[in-house]
Amino acid sequence: MILTYIFETYLDIRQHRALKLPTLPKPLLGVISDEKFKRSRDYRLHRSYFHFVYEAVTILMHTAILYFRVLPWVWKKSGELVKIVGLNAENEIIHTLAFLAGAAIWLQIIGLSFSLYSTFVIEAQHGFNKQTIWLFIRDMVKEIMLSMILGPPIVAAIIYIIQIGGHYVAIYLWGFMFVLAVLMMTIYPIVIAPLFNKFTPLPEGVLKEKIEKLAASLKFPLKKLFVVDGSTRSSHSNAYMYGFFKNKRIVLYDTLIQQCSNEDVIVSVIAHELGHWKLNHTIYFFVAVQLLMFLRFGGYTLARNSKDIFRSFGFNDKPIIIGLIIFQYAIIPLQHLLNFCLNLVSRAFEFQADAFAKNLGYAPQLREALVKLQEENLSTMNTDPWYSAYHYSHPPLVERLQALEVPDNEERQLLEII
């Protein structure tokens, strides 16, 4: 874990040096204004300094938790608390929920200071934050309430499955998490997301007509077009789609509509997103994540009954939730390697989606959209190649603009290689 931190800090230092460069990359000269570059440079450097502090505190906290045997102490105290309130501490589900409640309170306290600084200092100083402290508190309370409603039954189900799963516990766990993932993808945009943002139908007009025409030409089963009030919290902009089978929806941030010069620029962003759908990128990623989750549960089942592993972390018994936490610590290096591989695939998918929009005739508009989003979001202009390759799920702007300029025959060859 510490070696991973050292390696990633080295990459962070390389990226910090790149952020300090006083000039734009050559391909962006004349494309990005000097004023936007300076604002982006200041914003990203501010976030970089913050990141160094956050990661240092995180590694120190995790190291202290392991070295000073905090986990067995909290597990013991949570059991004592369960007895004090008159509940059965021998019931592992009740004991686990008490343990996780204590851990959640601690993490909420630690994370709150960082969240407040990020929102009301960094984002505010650089013109992004639009929410008041009361809106921030309201959102936090809603998140806590959702955790209290959704968390206990999910945790209880996982523990019960592991208790009765026997030799097939990895399959049962994966099946439960698969159903849960599909359920959450279904109810989140309909039930949970509206608790935090207001979704309104896109008004009738040229933009709606062009998006519906594009969707119809690609046989995309568009049911509804929404605008979300992202501007109530931030001036960052985005667009996304969701839904299963014949019930698809597209959501535009109101900030995206405000920032783009004309409807065709916005439609080019939708064309890119439709490219992901047409090329089945979402399905490929979902299948990959499910496969990795199954392998993770399989690895856990190999280690869950090892008394030596639990003793090395200060436990005489083998609580299920502790076994899951220890296993997560153990596979941190492997998890980072897998994330790197997924990022490689994601960047290839982004190039393909850009090429898809280009083949629909939206290359000039998509180029303008990418530049506008880069400027308005004050995204990173200068990137270190090592840092970018390791961390970025999307290619840097320079690479995406260069790919859009590649002639069609060369582009096809490149996509075949990818």
Kindly give, in sequence order, each residue whose CB lies less than 8 Å from that of residue 163, ignoring residues fewer than 6 positions away: 92, 320
Beta strand ranges found along 78-221 (DSSP E): 199-201
Q: Is 152 buried (19+), middle (13-18) or exposed (0-12) by CB count in 10 A? A: middle
Which residues contribute to the annotated binding site for Zn(2+)? 272, 276, 350
| Residues constituting the chain | 418
Determine the Cα–Cα distance for residues 287 and 285; give it in Å rounded to an integer.
Answer: 5
Torsion of CA 251, 255, 259, 260, to 10 degrees: 10
* 273 flagged as catalytic: yes
Q: CA 1 → CA 57, 111, 302, 314, 348, distances in Å?
A: 14, 20, 21, 18, 29
Which residues contribute to the annotated binding site? 272, 276, 350
Stretch (H or E) spanning 320? helix 320-330
Which one from 264, 273, 375, 376 is the annotated catalytic residue? Answer: 273
Determine the Cα–Cα distance for residues 20 and 36; give it in Å rounded to an integer.
Answer: 15
Tokens standing for 189?
Answer: 């945009």
Tokens standing for 4?
Answer: 């991973």
Which one from 354, 375, 384, 411 is the annotated catalytic residue? Answer: 354
Rounded (to 5) percent helix, strand, coil in the chain: 75, 5, 20
Which SS3 state, helix, strand or coil, does residue 31 take? Answer: coil
Determine the Cα–Cα distance for residues 82 and 379; give it in Å rounded to an integer.
Answer: 48
Q: Is 366 buried (19+), middle (13-18) or exposed (0-12) by CB count in 10 A? A: buried
* 317 flagged as catalytic: no
Q: Which residues are catalytic?
A: 273, 354
